[in-house]
Amino acid sequence: MQSMIARLPCVVYRCLNDRFWTMTYLSEGCKALTGYPVESLLDNAQLSFNDLIYVEDQEWTFAAVEAALAEKVPFTHEYRIVTAQGKIKWVWEQGSGVWDVDGNLIALEGFITDITAQKETKDQLTASLGERDQELLLNAALFNEYRKAVDESSIVSKTNEFGVITYANQQFCDISGYTLNELVGQSHNLVRHPDMPEILFEQLWSTIKAKKVWKGVIHNRAKNGDSYYVQSTVVPVLKPDGDIYEYMLIRHDITDLVRQTRRVQQQITDHLTQLPNRQKLMEDLQKNAKWKLAVFNIERFREVNECYGLDTGDKLLVQIARLFQMLARKHSLRLYKLSGDEFGLLSDERFDSCHFVETCYRFLECLEDESIEIDGNHFNLSMVVGISQQQNYYINAEIAMNHARESGKQLVFFDDQIDIKDQLSTNIRRTQQLKEALKDKRIKVFAQPIISHGCGGINKYECLVRMIDSDGTVIPPIRFLDLAKKARLYSEITNAVILESFAFFAKRPTDTFSINLSLDDILNPSTMQLLKDLIQQYQIGKQLILEIVESEGIENYEEVSQFIVNMQRLGCRIAIDDFGTGYSNFDYLMRLNIDIIKIDGSIIRNLDQDKNAQVVTELIVSFAQRMGIETVAEFVHSKEIDRMVKCMGINHSQGFYHAEPLSLEQLSPIPDLFL
C-alpha cells in the first residue's frame, strides 16, 4: 500500500481539524508537490500546511471545509499554494471527515493534486480566443443570468407557434397548482378563468400573430379552483428569417393589488347607483383648487319611502341617477351620489360661474320635465340646488342648498348670499363653544319626571341633555344638537350623557331612567361598546330604557333590530320616541319587539281641540294594548290634557304640567320632590 501511494501523482494526507491543518500523515508525493520533505510538515515540525496556502485563499478554504464537515459531506475545491522554491501552484483537493463510533470528528483524510498545467492551458485558451469569441461567451453568460433573473422573479412559460406549452418555470407551477408534466403539452386554456371574455383572447392572438408584443391583465383559475390575476406580457420569438418560432409569456401575480383596488373601489362607490360616492368626491376635491360644486337635493323624497316603501325609493334613485348620468356626460361634468337623496355635480375651471349656474338650471328643468314610472306609479321630481366655488366646497354647497330649501328658492349660489356667510361664521363660533363645553364637562344631564297613572308616583325619568354656557346659561339641545352632528361631535355628547346618567341612577336603584339614542349612536361601535360596558359595570340594565327616535332608525331595520335584541338581553327596555310622526308604521313595531311607545307631543298638545289627534291617539293606544306595549304621552301641558290621556288608557304622562326637567343636582337631594 505504501509503495502504491508513493507512486500516485498526488499527496495523500491525514490531518487534524485545526486552524493549522496539523498533519499526522503525508505520502511521499509531498516533496514533488510542495518542495518540502514530509518530516518538515508532520506535526508542524518546521511549518504548518496552512503556511503553504496562498494568503488570499486561506480563509475561504478553511470556511469551505468547515461547511462541508457541518453537513458531513466530502469537500472539493481548488486553491493556490506557495512551494519551497517560491513558486505558486494551483492544486485540487478532495477530502472528508473521519468520525468515531460516537460521532466525534477525529481527523480529516484526503488527497491533493497539482492542476497548474490545466489552469495554464485554460488561461492560454482563453487568451487565444479572439475578441469576438470572448464577446460571444460573455453574451451567453449574461443571457443565462438574465434568464435566471426572469425565472426567479416572474411566472414564465413558452409555447410553440400553435400555443402548446413547451416550458413552464416553477413559479407557474406554484401559482397554478399544476405540475410541469401536467402543463407541458397543454394550452393556456387549462388555467383560463371562465369569466374572461373571448374577445380579449381574440385580440391577443391577433396582436402576437402580427409579431407584436401584447400586454394586459388576465384572470386565471388554479387547479384547486382558486382564482388569481396576472399582469401578462406575450412576446413572439422570431427565427432569423423573421418567422415566428415560439411565444414567451412573462407574468407577474397582481392578485392582491386587484383585490385591494376592488376594496377601495367599493369604498368610494355608492352600491345602489354605482356612482362615485361622497368619499370619492372628497378625494377629488383635494386634487384641484378651482372646482365648482353643485349639490342637488330631491325634495320630499322621504315621502316616497313612507308611502311606497324603500324598494320603490331605491328604484326611483336608480332612474334619477341614469338621468343625471346622461346630462353629466353631455356637459362633461363629474357626477356623484352623496347622501340618501342628494347628488353632486363637479366642474373644473373650464366652466365659468355663469355657465355652471346656467347648466345647473338646465339640469333642474330637464329633471322636472321628466315623469318617472316605477311599478306603475308616476313620479315628478322637484329639486333644490346649492352651488359653491370656494374652499370647503361641500360644506358651502350644503349650506347654500339648505338655504335654498328654507327660503323657497330653487338654486342658491354661496358667493351671492351674505347671510349664508354670516350663518357659517356663527356656526364656527358655536362649534368652538360646543367643543369648549365638552372639554370643560359642561354638557350636563337634566331629568324630567314621568308620572305613572297606575300609582301616581314618580320613579321614572327621561334624561335630557343641556349645555351650560361659560356664564352659567342653560342652553337647550335645539341650539346645538344639529350643529354637533355636522361637526362630528354628536357621539361625544351621547357618551357624556351615558356616563353622567349611569353614575347618578346607579345610586338610585328603585328609579327607572331613559336616554335617547339616534341611529348614528346605534351604528357607532365605540358608543355601543361604552353602553354595554357601563350596563355591565353598574348592573343597571333593569333600570334602563333606551329611546329610539322613530324617524331615525326605521330605514335601517336590520341594524336597529339587532341592537334591540342585544340590549334586551342585558335587561334593558326599548322605547320608540316621538311615535306618530315620521313613518308611523305599525308593521315595524310588531317586528321590532318594542316595550314602550312614546306618543309624540305634536299629537298630544292639541288633544283637547283636534279630533284627528284624538283618533290617532286612540288608534295607537288600542294597538299598544293589544301588543302588550306600554304608552307614554309626551307634552302634557294642561290639566285637561292630563285628564284625557288618563281616560284613553295611556300608562304614563310626561310634560310641563307635571314637572320641568331639572339638573341632577336639583333632583338628587329630594327624590320625591313632585309627589
Using a 10 angstrom Cβ sphere, with 0-12 exposed, 13-18 middle and 19 or more buried, the burial of residue 594 is buried
Buried b (16+ CB within 10 A) or exposed e, 437-460: bbeeebbbbbbbbbbbeeeeebbb
Whether pLDDT at 673 is above 50: no
Residues 371 and 487 in one domain: no
Cβ within 8 Å of residue 530, ≥6 positions away: 495, 498, 499
pLDDT attached to residue 131: 63
Model confidence at 556, pLDDT cuts 50, 70, 90, reads low
Whether pLDDT at 455 is above 80: no
Tally of CB atoms within 10 A around 345? 25
- Domain hosting 31: range is 2-123
Q: How far apart are the C-alpha atoms of 251 and 229, rounded to whole Å?
A: 9
Using a 10 angstrom Cβ sphere, with 0-12 exposed, 13-18 middle and 19 or more buried, the burial of residue 417 is buried
Pair 399, 420: CB distance under 8 Å:
yes
- In order, the DSSP letters of 40-109 are HHBTTSS--HHHHB-HHHHHHHHHHHHHHHHHT--EEEEEEEE-TTS-EEEEEEEEEEEE-TTS-EEEEE
Residues 251 and 290 in one domain: no
Range 18-36 average pLDDT: 93
- Phi and psi torsions of 260, nearest 5°: -65, -40
Of 228, 258, 288, the last residue of a domain is 258
Q: How far apart are the C-alpha atoms of 139 and 145, rounded to whole Å?
A: 10
pLDDT attached to residue 578: 82
pLDDT attached to residue 373: 86
Range 191-211 average pLDDT: 91
Q: At what angle do helices 310-330 and 301-308 cross, to 10 degrees?
A: 140
289 belongs to a structural domain: yes
pLDDT tens, position by position, 38-87: 999 999 999 999 999 999 999 999 999 999 999 999 999 999 999 999 99
SS3 468: strand
Model confidence at 553, pLDDT cuts 50, 70, 90, reads very low
Domain count, the chain: 4
Q: How far apart are the C-alpha atoms of 26 and 543, rounded to whole Å?
A: 98
Residues 480 and 595 in one domain: yes
Of 258, 291, 308, the last residue of a domain is 258
Running DSSP on this structure, what letter comes out for residue 196?
A: S
Range 631-651 average pLDDT: 93
Range 558-573 average pLDDT: 91
Residues 27 and 115 in one domain: yes
Ranges 69-78, 346-355, 421-430, 621-630: which has the least confidence: 421-430
Pair 215, 251: CB distance under 8 Å:
no
Residues 389 and 487 in one domain: no
Model confidence at 559, pLDDT cuts 50, 70, 90, reads confident
Q: How far apart are the C-alpha atoms of 584 and 28, rounded to whole Å?
A: 112
Q: How far apart are the C-alpha atoms of 412 and 357, rounded to whole Å?
A: 9
Q: Which residue has the higher pLDDT, 463 or 148?
A: 463
Pair 572, 596: CB distance under 8 Å:
no
- Phi and psi torsions of 585, nearest 5°: -100, 110
Pair 269, 261: CB distance under 8 Å:
no
Model confidence at 134, pLDDT cuts 50, 70, 90, reads low
Q: How far apart are the C-alpha atoms of 32 and 387, rounded to whole Å?
A: 100
pLDDT attached to residue 670: 46
95 belongs to a structural domain: yes
The CATH number that applies at residue 58 is 3.30.450.20
Running DSSP on this structure, what letter comes out for residue 559?
A: H
Residues 328 and 224 in one domain: no
Whether pLDDT at 288 is above 90: no
206 belongs to a structural domain: yes
Residues 280 and 352 in one domain: yes
Ranges 99-113, 280-294, 438-452: which has the least confidence: 280-294
Whether pLDDT at 231 is above 90: yes
Helix (H), strand (E) counts: the chain = 28, 27
Task: Please state, in angstroms and as integers, the Cα–Cα distance from residue 612 to each residue in 421, 509, 552, 608, following that order.
Answer: 42, 40, 25, 10
Model confidence at 671, pLDDT cuts 50, 70, 90, reads very low
Residue at grid coordinates 353631455:
330
- In order, the DSSP letters of 238-289 are EPTTS-EEEEEEEEEE-HHHHHHHHHHHHHTB-TTT-SB-HHHHHHHHTT-S
Q: How far apart are the C-alpha atoms of 330 and 323, rounded to whole Å?
A: 11
422 belongs to a structural domain: no
- In order, the DSSP letters of 494-557 are HHHHHHHHHHHHTT-TT-EEEEEE-HHHHT-HHHHHHHHHHHHHHT-GGGEEEEEEHHHHGGGH
Q: Which residue has the higher pLDDT, 101 or 391?
A: 101
pLDDT attached to residue 529: 95
Of 123, 149, 183, the last residue of a domain is 123
The CATH number that applies at residue 489 is 3.20.20.450
CA neighbours closer than 13 Å in the CB half-sphere of residue 468 = 11
Model confidence at 98, pLDDT cuts 50, 70, 90, reads very high
Ranges 158-167, 388-397, 530-539: which has the least confidence: 388-397
Residues 275 and 253 in one domain: no
Residues 466 and 613 in one domain: yes
Model confidence at 648, pLDDT cuts 50, 70, 90, reads very high
Q: How far apart are the C-alpha atoms of 550 and 526, rounded to whole Å?
A: 22
49 belongs to a structural domain: yes
- Provide the whole-model pTM: 0.45
CA neighbours closer than 13 Å in the CB half-sphere of residue 259 = 7
Residues 44 and 152 in one domain: no
pLDDT attached to residue 574: 94
Q: How far apart are the C-alpha atoms of 306 and 531, rounded to whole Å?
A: 31
Model confidence at 422, pLDDT cuts 50, 70, 90, reads low
Cell readout for 271 is 352600491
Running DSSP on this structure, what letter comes out for residue 581?
A: B
579 belongs to a structural domain: yes
427 belongs to a structural domain: no
pLDDT tens, position by position, 343-366: 999 987 777 888 888 888 888 888
Residues 389 and 476 in one domain: no
Residues 210 and 103 in one domain: no
Q: How far apart are the C-alpha atoms of 289 and 390, rounded to whole Å?
A: 9
pLDDT tens, position by position, 575-618: 998 887 654 457 667 778 889 999 988 889 889 888 888 998 99
Q: How far apart are the C-alpha atoms of 334 and 71, rounded to whole Å?
A: 67
131 belongs to a structural domain: no
Q: How far apart are the C-alpha atoms of 658 and 639, rounded to whole Å?
A: 9
Q: Which residue has the higher pLDDT, 419 or 579?
A: 579
HEC string of 288-321 equals CCCCEEEEEEECCHHHHHHHHCHHHHHHHHHHHH
Q: How far apart are the C-alpha atoms of 565 and 124, rounded to whole Å?
A: 90
Model confidence at 299, pLDDT cuts 50, 70, 90, reads confident
Give percent of the chain above pLDDT 70: 92
